[in-house]
């Protein structure tokens, strides 16, 4: 999936806290924000314009890589 840029306005303390969170979790700031957003509960988890919600399953499959089948 292609990534796109977004600008956020944060006060200096929040910016430093986000950078510290990312550092402590061995992640980039972008990855930290992504993880926090996906961990947050939302009222309507369906993405605008999407007819089915398979996003989390798809993301998990992408993270896991190819599945190995035992014989």
Mean pLDDT of 33-46: 84
Cα 11 to chain centroid, rounded: 22
pLDDT by residue (tens digit) across 3-28? Answer: 899 999 999 999 999 999 999 999 99
Give pLDDT, residue 63. Answer: 73
Strand ranges (E), 1-71: none
Record the pTM.
Answer: 0.58
pLDDT by residue (tens digit) across 27-36? Answer: 999 999 999 9
Q: CA 46 → CA 1, 36, 56, 61, distances in Å?
A: 17, 17, 11, 18
Longest distance between any two alpha carbons in the chain, whole Å: 55
* Share above pLDDT 70 across residues of the chain, in percent, rounded to a whole number: 68
Mean pLDDT of 43-69: 65
């Amino acid at each position: 999936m292609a990534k796109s840029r977004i600008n956020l306005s944060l006060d200096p303390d929040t910016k430093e806290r986000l950078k510290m969170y990312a550092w402590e979790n061995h992640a980039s700031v972008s990855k930290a924000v992504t993880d926090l957003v996906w961990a947050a509960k939302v009222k309507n988890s369906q993405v605008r314009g999407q007819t089915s919600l398979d996003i989390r399953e798809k993301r998990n499959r992408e993270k896991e890589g190819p599945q190995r089948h035992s014989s």
